Structure 1
Amino acid sequence: MSLSPSPPQSPSSATNTEYGLTGGPRWYQRRIRIFGPFLAMIVPGLVGAAGYVALQMSEAAWSGTFGTAASYFAAPALLAIGGPLAEAGLKPLAIGASALMWLFAGLLAARRATRNPFATWGDFWRHYTWMLFGIWVGVMMALAIASAWIGPELLDLI
């Protein structure tokens, strides 16, 4: 028996977890770190879905151009294998590598956001947006270099 006073047990003690108070800063940081990498897949997933729908929707030139460009933004590793000219067996590997890259970008954004003890989802999305646009600028630069290297025939191939 201890002589020091202890706080009374209250029914609200059920909200305690091993990671701190539910809804507290540590609990919130942990949620950002766990779910952040998976939420980072939303934007490229939506862009990739839009590109796939555009490619399947019509045979028009705009559909092919938009669908191919959207697929590059969703899966940047497609550029490394040669895009539409690549062997069909390499495309799932490139898409998988891109998914891992997006998961890693989400992991980095979550880690950077939770350096602040009172991190919010807004902090996560701010860090992730910078990474997203950095990757997309790299995709645009790669497309510009490929366009200059191959020339106007690149558009005819797509």
Structure 2
Amino acid sequence: MSTSPNVVPDGVVYHRLLVRKFGPYLAVAISAAIGIFAALLLIGSTSAMRGIPGFILAIVAIPTLPLFGVPVMGGTVRWLLAIVSSAFLWAFVGHLAAQRSTNRTISSWPEWRREWTRLSIGVWVGAMFGLGVAAIALGINPISM
């Protein structure tokens, strides 16, 4: 990261610029790490012990999966569209968290993490709500399974 003559290395302004520059990338990297872990659980899974946590983690990493109908209909194109749109969503969430956290005078990664967590919980609740609506619309009763 280039510094101008007015920016003190490891100073307040430097940390604010660092958070604003790398916040969106960090949000995408976090969701990618969760997605890789979900894929490791799902690949070759033949039991609910790995399948259920893997699918929930996949929804956490790729919250637009329900929008593309992935729980009901599969396909490579649907998965790719969901992954790309989720990457844009997470980049926006990271950008928004960076903007909100750097409004304070002194801010760094802990403030970004706090804002990112708040925004991410909203995204995750919305994705799970979408799954619930899809399950009700399809008449799936998870309790009787």
Q: TM-score range by the shorter chain?
A: 0.7 to 0.9
- Does residue 122 (structure 1) correspond to residue 92 (structure 2)? The answer is no
Match of 2:60?
Answer: 73
Equivalence for 1:110: 98
Distance 2:5 2:16 in 1: 14
Provide, for residues 107-142 of structure 1, a one-character-per-residue CA deviation record: whole Å limited to 9, x for no partner.
Answer: 000011111121121110000000110101101111
Measured on the aligned residues, the alpha-carbon RMSD in Å equals 2.0
Letter in 2 for 1:37: P
Instruction: Work out whether residues 20 and 26 of structure 1, in 8 Å CA contact, stay in contact via their aligned partners in 2.
Output: yes
Greater Rg over alpha carbons, structure: 1
Shift, 1:153, TM fit? 7.0
Worse-matched range after superposition: 100-109 or 90-99: 90-99
TM (normalized to structure 1)? 0.80
Matches within 5 A, 1:12-91: 17-84=4-71, 85-91=73-79
Paired letter, 1:130: R
Conserved in 2, the CA contact under 8 Å of 1:37 and 1:105?
yes
Q: Which runs of 5+ in 1 are unaligned?
A: 1-15
Q: For the structure 1 residues 57 and 119, does the alpha-carbon distance in structure 2 shift closer, same or farther, using more than 3 Å as the test? A: same
TM-score, normalisation: structure 2: 0.86
Q: Distance in 2 between matches of 1:114 and 1:140?
A: 30
| Pair 1:151-2:139 in alignment | yes
5+ residue gaps, structure 2, are: none
- The share of aligned pairs that are identical, in percent, is 30
SS at 1:89 equivalent: helix
Instruction: Number of aligned residue pairs: give it.
Output: 140
